[in-house]
């Protein structure tokens, strides 16, 4: 057993100053506000302990990519993000040919079984050519029942979320098939109308993939999918809070409109995260990173990010403070959006909060909210 105390601990969504928690094996045994019941094994007098970050949309990092399922690359990317506090990773795949996609899903299913990642997110290939972003336009296609069955079989239960454009032929049946298989359906990379997006939600779609990005802009006479997703209380909206993908004022408006309980902060990071500027690949597409911003080579199209979850955590804390929230309210909202909300959206019921009975996944942040220690399943993986 390990007893941890800190200047502040985010216990079940509340900021306790000071606070403590005790782990036993891989789980949290007990936690509370105030002084610990006995001298702590690990004391962090100038730090804040928060739940491990949960990134439900990430393609790679630290020079490693999930795109081809290579064991070394997958481990490299997951280890990089772990150093930045991400204790639960959903490996995102971009559009690829059917055989290639199934093969990569099979490899990532193995990585899921080994606990390297928590599952797979298929971002495509059932996307809109008009809003394809950094996806290979030549491989975009309508959902096909046979292909869906093939990827579900290859995933062996590891596919946790898929993104599709609901206006594509066959999407209604695809949403139903994935929901029947226990897979979360997200709407994204779409040119759908407001009505088409609402219809997808009625069929069971519950996530909006990187809200505003790769979808038509909001218009007062044709509000499009963004408003349909933002306005529906059943939908969790992803937000890439790096200040590049969404203007801070728009981020603030989304958080105020939906509430932190419906906003999941995601990185959408690619292999370039943590690396110097240069040329990278995202699936079949070549990406140039200049001043930390990734774009499809030769275009102005943003291609994922170079962000990490700790960076985005600091960004949303700062955003909350700038909006007039007190320090603890801003911190609690950031905890919600980087852990509890994404956990709820994906049905990860053993993570996302610091509470007795849940997994002991936590991050220790210093006064500047920089990561100094990370615990996964009760074991210190960094610092401690």
Q: Which architecture characterizes domain 1-52+352-383 according to CATH?
A: Roll (2.30)
Domain parsing of the chain, residue ranges:
1-52+352-383, 53-316
Q: Are 380 and 91 in contact (CB under 8 A)?
A: no
3 state SS for 271-334: CCCCCCCEEEEECCEEEEEECCEEEECCCCCECCECCCHHHHHHHHHHHHHHCCCCHHHHHHHH
324 pLDDT higher than 90: no
Tell me the C-alpha distance between 4 and 378, whole Å: 11
Q: What is the pLDDT of residues 203-247, one digit of tens each?
A: 999 999 999 999 999 999 999 999 999 999 999 999 999 999 999
359 pLDDT higher than 90: yes
Beta bridge partners of 250: none
Binding-site annotation, residues for Zn(2+)? 123, 189, 210
Q: Are 141 and 126 in contact (CB under 8 A)?
A: yes
Angle, in degrees to the nearest 10, between helices 171-180 and 194-203 = 30
Q: How confident is the model at residue 323 (pLDDT cuts 50, 70, 90)?
A: confident
Say what percent of the chain tops pLDDT 70.
100
Q: For tokens 């994204």, name the residue.
A: 188
Per-residue confidence (pLDDT) for residue 325, from 0 to 100: 85
The reply to whether CATH 3.20.20.140 applies to domain 53-316 is yes
| DSSP label at residue 173 | H
Binding-site annotation, residues for substrate? 134, 213-214, 221, 245, 302-304
- Residue 216 φ/ψ, nearest 5 degrees: -60, 145
Per-residue confidence (pLDDT) for residue 384, from 0 to 100: 86
Please identify every residue annotated as catalytic: 268
Per-residue confidence (pLDDT) for residue 68, from 0 to 100: 84
pTM exceeds 0.95 for this model:
yes
Q: For tokens 């800190």, name the residue.
A: 6
Per-residue confidence (pLDDT) for residue 322, from 0 to 100: 87
Q: Are 80 and 62 in contact (CB under 8 A)?
A: yes
Q: For residues 142-167, give the mean pLDDT.
A: 98
Tell me the C-alpha distance between 230 and 244, whole Å: 20
What is the average pLDDT value for the chain, to the nearest integer? Answer: 97
């Amino acid at each position: 057993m390990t007893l941890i105390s800190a200047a502040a601990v985010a216990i079940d969504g509340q900021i306790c100053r000071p606070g403590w928690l005790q782990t036993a094996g891989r789980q949290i045994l007990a936690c509370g506000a105030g002084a610990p019941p006995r001298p702590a094994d690990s004391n962090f007098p100038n730090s804040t302990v928060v739940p491990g970050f949960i990134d439900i949309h990430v393609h790679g990092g630290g020079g490693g990519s999930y795109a081809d399922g290579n064991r070394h690359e997958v481990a490299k990317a997951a280890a990089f993000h772990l150093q930045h506090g991400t204790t639960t990773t959903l490996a995102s795949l971009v559009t690829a040919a059917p055989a290639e996609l199934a093969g990569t899903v099979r490899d990532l299913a193995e990585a899921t079984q080994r606990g390297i990642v928590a599952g797979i997110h298929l971002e495509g290939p059932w996307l809109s050519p008009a809003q394809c972003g950094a996806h290979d336009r030549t491989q975009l296609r309508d959902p096909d029942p046979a292909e869906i069955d093939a990827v579900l079989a290859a995933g062996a239960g590891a596919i946790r979320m898929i993104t599709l454009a609901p206006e594509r032929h066959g999407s209604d049946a695809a949403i139903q098939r994935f929901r029947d298989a226990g897979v979360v359906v997200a709407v994204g990379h779409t040119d759908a109308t407001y009505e088409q997006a609402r219809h997808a939600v009625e069929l069971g779609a519950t996530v909006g993939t990187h809200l505003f990005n790769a979808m038509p802009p909001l218009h007062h006479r044709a509000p499009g999918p963004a408003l349909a997703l933002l306005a529906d209380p059943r939908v969790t909206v992803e937000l890439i809070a790096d200040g590049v993908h969404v203007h801070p004022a728009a981020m603030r408006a989304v958080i105020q409109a939906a509430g932190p309980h419906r906003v999941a902060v995601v990185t959408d990071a690619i292999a370039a995260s943590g690396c110097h500027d240069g040329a990278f690949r995202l699936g079949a597409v070549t990406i140039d990173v200049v001043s930390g911003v990734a774009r499809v080579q030769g275009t102005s199209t943003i291609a994922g990010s170079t962000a990490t979850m700790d960076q985005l955590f600091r960004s949303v804390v700062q955003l909350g403070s700038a909006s007039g929230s007190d320090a603890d309210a801003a911190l609690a909202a950031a905890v919600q959006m980087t852990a509890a909300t994404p956990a709820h959206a994906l049905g990860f019921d053993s993570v996302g909060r610091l509470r007795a009975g849940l997994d002991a996944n936590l991050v220790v942040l210093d006064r500047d909210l920089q990561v100094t220690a990370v615990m996964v399943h009760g074991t210190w993986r960094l610092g401690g």
